[in-house]
């Protein structure tokens, strides 16, 4: 999976969780568009299911989930393991 495909799949996971009227791109600040503690957990679970990975507790920081690009950086590292 290349970076563009990864970003597309991550955006799909995010769009399934946040309000439908919000536009997401790779630089959107997710903390300003409706990601809260409940949606954050839903996003982590959605990403784990979509990519068939487990995001370890020590990797679950808001900084890793603030933008699509930072999520993709984390996922690339996890997928490469």
Kindly report, residue by residue over 17-45, the tens digit of the pLDDT: 987 788 899 899 998 887 888 899 999 99
Cα gap 24→53, rounded to integer Å: 23
Give the pLDDT band (50/70/90) at residue 62: confident
Cα gap 76→20, rounded to integer Å: 27
How far, rounded to the nearest angstrom, does the alpha carbon of residue 12 sit from its chain's CA centroid?
9
Pick one of 3.40.50.880, 2.60.40.10, 1.10.3720.10, 1.10.1200.10 as the CATH number of 3-80: 1.10.1200.10
CB of 3 closer than 8 Å to CB of 61? no
Cα gap 67→29, rounded to integer Å: 5
81 has a pLDDT exceeding 80: no
pTM of the model: 0.90
CB of 46 closer than 8 Å to CB of 16? yes
């Amino acid at each position: 999976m290349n970076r563009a495909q990864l970003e597309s799949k991550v955006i799909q996971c995010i769009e399934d969780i946040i309000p439908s009227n919000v536009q997401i791109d790779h630089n959107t600040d997710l903390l300003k568009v409706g990601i809260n503690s409940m949606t954050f957990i839903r996003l982590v679970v959605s990403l784990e299911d979509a990519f068939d990975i487990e995001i370890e507790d020590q990797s679950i920081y808001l900084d890793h989930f603030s933008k699509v690009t930072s999520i993709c950086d984390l996922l690339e590292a996890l997928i490469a393991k």
